[in-house]
Chain A
Amino acid sequence: MLTWVIYDIVKDKPRTQVAKTCQRAGIMRVQYSVFLGDLNANEIDELGLKIKSLIDEETDRVYIFPMCKEDFSKVRLLGEAFDKKLVTNEIRELFL
Chain B
Amino acid sequence: MQLVLNSPGAYLRIRDGCFHITVEDESKLVSPKKVESMLISSAVKLSSAALQLAVENNIDVVFLDKFGAPFGRLWHAKLGSTTRIRRGQLVASTSSEGLGYAMRWVQQKLDNQIDFLTTLANKRPAKQEQLGVYISQIQVIRDKLKIVDIKNESTPTQADSANTSNLPLAPCPLPLAADSLRGLEGTAGRIYFEALSFVQPEQFPFHGRSRQPAKDEFNCILNYCYGVLYGLVERGCMLAGLEPYLGFFHADNYNKKSLVFDLIEPYRIWAEETTVYLFSQRQVKKEMFDKIQNGMTLNKEGKQVVIAAFNERLDAALRHQGRNISRRNIIQFDCQAFAQELLKIDLEREPETE
Contact = CB atoms under 8 A, between A and B. Distances in A.
B3 interface: yes
B4 A92 contact: no
Contacts of A20: 16-17
B7 A96 contact: yes
A23 interface: yes
B interface secondary structure, majority = mixed
A93 B6 CA distance: 12
A82 to B, nearest CB: 14
Interface residues of B, number: 26
Nearest to B2: A93
A84 to B, nearest CB: 15
Contacts of B307: 93
A23 B28 contact: no
Given A26-B31, A26-B33, A93 B1 contact: yes
B2 A23 contact: no
A interface secondary structure, majority = mixed
Contact of B4 (A23, A26, A89, A95): A95
B18 interface: yes
A25 B312 CA distance: 24
A95 B33 contact: no
Contacts, number: 54
A77 interface: no
**Interface size class, chain A:** 10 to 19
B237 interface: no
A91 interface: yes
Given A23-B16, A23-B29, A92 B21 contact: no
B65 to A, nearest CB: 18
Contact of A26 (B3, B5, B6, B34): B34
A96 B23 contact: yes
B1 A89 contact: yes
B10 interface: yes
Which 5 residue pairs across A and B have the least CB separation, nearest first? A26-B31, A26-B33, A24-B17, A93-B2, A20-B16
Given A23-B18, A93-B307, A94-B4, 4 more contacts: A23-B31, A94-B28, A95-B4, A96-B21
6 contacts: A25-B33, A92-B311, A93-B1, A93-B2, A94-B4, A96-B7
